[in-house]
Amino acid sequence: MSGVEILTDAEQAKRAVRPAIWKGIKCKCPKCGEGKLFEKWLKVTPTCKHCGEELHHERAQDFPPYITITIVGHVIVTLLMIVEARTQWSLTTHLLVWIPLATVMTLGLMQPVKGGVVGMQWAVRMFGFGGEEEA
46 in Cβ contact with 56 (< 8 Å): yes
132 in Cβ contact with 5 (< 8 Å): yes
Instruction: Please tell me the predicted confidence (pLDDT) of residue 86.
Output: 96
Instruction: Please give the Cα distance from 46 to 48 (Å, whole number).
Output: 7
Instruction: Please tell me the predicted confidence (pLDDT) of residue 2.
Output: 47
Q: Give the pLDDT of the chain (135 residues) as one tens digit per residue.
A: 445 455 555 555 567 889 999 999 999 999 888 999 999 989 999 999 988 888 888 888 899 999 999 999 999 999 999 999 999 999 999 999 999 999 999 999 999 999 999 999 888 888 777 665 555
The answer for residues whose C-beta is within 8 angstroms of residue 8's C-beta and 6 or more apart is: none
Instruction: Please tell me the predicted confidence (pLDDT) of residue 85.
Output: 95
Instruction: Please tell me the predicted confidence (pLDDT) of residue 1.
Output: 41
Comparing CA positions, the residue from 67, 38, 33, 40 lying closest to residue 55 is: 38
Instruction: Please tell me the predicted confidence (pLDDT) of residue 61.
Output: 84
